[in-house]
Chains A and B, each alone.
Chain A
């Protein structure tokens, strides 16, 4: 805990003022939360990696751990039937989140940023689903897509015995029904991010562009879009993170089976229930961890690099 050498004199002066008591207090203030985060987030993350090379039924103490090398990974990539469907669904989730809520959120934000009446009301309505939990949205998905009682089949006359469309039971259909509802929530989230970003766009720039005869699209393309760069990064990150975290909605509908498999569900399946396979679950978790780190690390580096230069 030494002061930066390059720190200006003023900061050096402060160092002298830091009494012994202050040092203890500051260390505790940072240390206690750090200890908590390390032990409940980072240690488990590391243990995921370590345990992924083991076989541990979870019954019995730590002594019952057997080290099996890469066997768990081998099993996952060769004979674990749910793995590729889950991976595929996660990728579909990611692709759909990029294709629908991200541009739709941006589009809605741009529309609401024009000085129109009732803008706040529209904003509130579009943002409303974001405060609902994904688990609750899972229940609403059932209300809408359930084959006999659901809104959609009753509205289109497909709720009868013969012409029933089993939206949630058909493994080729259910992922799309779920994604539609997930997008419903995600769009509002993205919209708010962009609205905040648009507020920081200098209005005089837009006026200058308009004076030049730039159309709406040209103004957007050359003035607004470049200014939104930092927000684009944030939207990219929340899109990826939310896609990888997706869990509640499919778990509520059918425990993430029969067409709704996701990596997050496979991890959970291996620890809850009778047969807990800690090593195997950890290997799946490690795969999830590696995918997410591939996005988190570049984001953090770009975010904190500016701080370092200050």
Chain B
């Protein structure tokens, strides 16, 4: 609030009374600028769609920047069937869903303990989680990769017999890495819930678990929804962990698998565009349907800075 001193009110001069909205010309200019920027912003996606809708042969014949030839969804159906996209989507489901649920569950537990009870190590504990999430993944991958090769898992959990090249290995690294962000956001939120609520519950003899599960968690539903949306995109979009920790190409989630496919289809940019757009569909759907949650999830983490 130091700003107040710099804008100290002086005499009220009627000629200075401003229009709260910029003049009409300025407004039109602003819209022109924003429309222009939006068009540039959409151009890469629009071009990807344009390419994906045309057969490779037509673009070769008429050129990439042309309207000649046919338009259709042939590339999409070819990519879907020939590139085994359903298989890779299923891999993404196997990894993303458990990782998402576990991350939110564990992060909310940490947040509950840290924000609703006062221990000596509260802040240190939360810092361990938050800082872990800020590290670049590559700073920890080398030993992690070796650890994964050395940790044995029962065969029913991993057909490689090791943590390496297993779904569980990928799920756990996502959980370990993402818990930090969610715990930070949830702890900030839980701190705003009045303590009286817990006290009343305690007088009624509610245990810590009951307070967490039946009182605090239901109140956190909006934040949990926001975080779920955001984390879904992050985990689904992961390329790095899956590329390094999942050697078997057929077990990779779809974002990482696409890289192999581009090797397979090599020069057929039309097909690759179609495949890339199909891969983007889940995140685009989430974005358009849950935009509000998505943005609030991001900014919840930022506002408390």
Contacts and interface: CB of A to CB of B under 8 A. Distances in A.
A94 interface: no
A214 interface: yes
A149 B7 contact: no
Contacts of B258: 135-136, 139
Contacts of B7: 205, 208-209, 212, 214, 222-223
A257 interface: no
Given A124-B288, A134-B237, 9 more contacts: A45-B135, A128-B45, A128-B287, A131-B280, A136-B280, A139-B258, A139-B272, A251-B259, A297-B131
Binding site of B, secondary structure by majority: helix, strand, loop or mixed? helix
A136 B299 CA distance: 24
Nearest to A243: B136
B267 interface: yes
Interface string B216-244: 00000000000000000100111110011
Interface string A220-247: 0011001100110110010001001101
A33 B138 contact: no
Interface in A1-55: 1-4, 7, 10-11, 14, 17-19, 21-22, 25-26, 29-30, 32-34, 36-45, 47-48, 51
Interface residues of B, number: 119
Contacts of A217: none
Nearest to B269: A149
A270 interface: yes
Give chain A's interface residue range (CB within 8 Å of chain B).
35 or more
A64 to B, nearest CB: 11
Given A271-B141, A288-B136, A196 B279 contact: no
Secondary structure call for the A interface: helix
B237 A44 contact: no
B299 A192 contact: yes
A86 to B, nearest CB: 11
A29 B135 contact: no
